[in-house]
Structure 1
Amino acid sequence: MRYPRLIIAFMIPLFLTGCASLNNTQQRALTGGAIGATGGAIIGATMGAPAVGAAIGGATGAAAGVIIPQLGHDAIRLLGGN
């Protein structure tokens, strides 16, 4: 049980370092996916399938992270803003 914790402790800094060069859209997709996967895993755990919940939540969160800000930009352009 000790080794998975050790592996996770070393992997977290690697993942965070890899996120430094992402553009805004990629950062929103990553953040939305992470939040969605967490929420989906929690909801899925109550239903007995946390992995399925995490997969569905992650995909939905990533899509929302990309689409929702774009909809806001389009609405501003339609209303005559910059």
Structure 2
Amino acid sequence: MGIKVLLAAGMLFGLAACGDTLGEQALVGGAAGAGTALVTNGDPLTGAVIGGAGNVAFCQSFPDQCRGIRR
């Protein structure tokens, strides 16, 4: 159980990489949410929706605290 919590926490830190556009923000958050759900035996679709929405909301509210995806 401990390893799953550590992996989930690591994936959640991925949300700090917001993305430069709204689409990137939704994609990064959705991927982190789906991955976290898989590790914690949750529903990946629900995780993707919650992660995507949460990341977009955070990045739009606090753009100075987000790191964009650099190419």
* TM-score bin, normalised by smaller chain: 0.5 to 0.7
Aligned residues: 44
2:55 corresponds to: 65
Give the superposed CA RMSD: 1.6
TM-score (norm 1): 0.48
Q: Which residue, out of 30, 34, 52, partners 2:31? A: 34
Question: Larger relative CO (CA 8 A, sep 6+): 1 or 2?
Answer: 2
Q: Which has the higher helix share?
A: 1
Cα distance in 1 for residues equivalent to 2:53 and 2:22? 11
Unaligned runs of 5+ in 1: 1-22, 45-49, 74-82
Identity over the aligned pairs, expressed in percent? 27
Q: Show CA shifts across 1:9-66 (max 9, x none).
A: xxxxxxxxxxxxxx6111010010001100001111xxxxx5x2x1121111100121
Who wins on radius of gyration, i.e. which is larger?
Answer: 1
Write out the 4+ residue segments of structure 1 that deviate beyond 6 Å after TM superposition: none
Cα distance in 2 for residues equivalent to 1:26 and 1:65? 11
TM-score (norm 2): 0.54
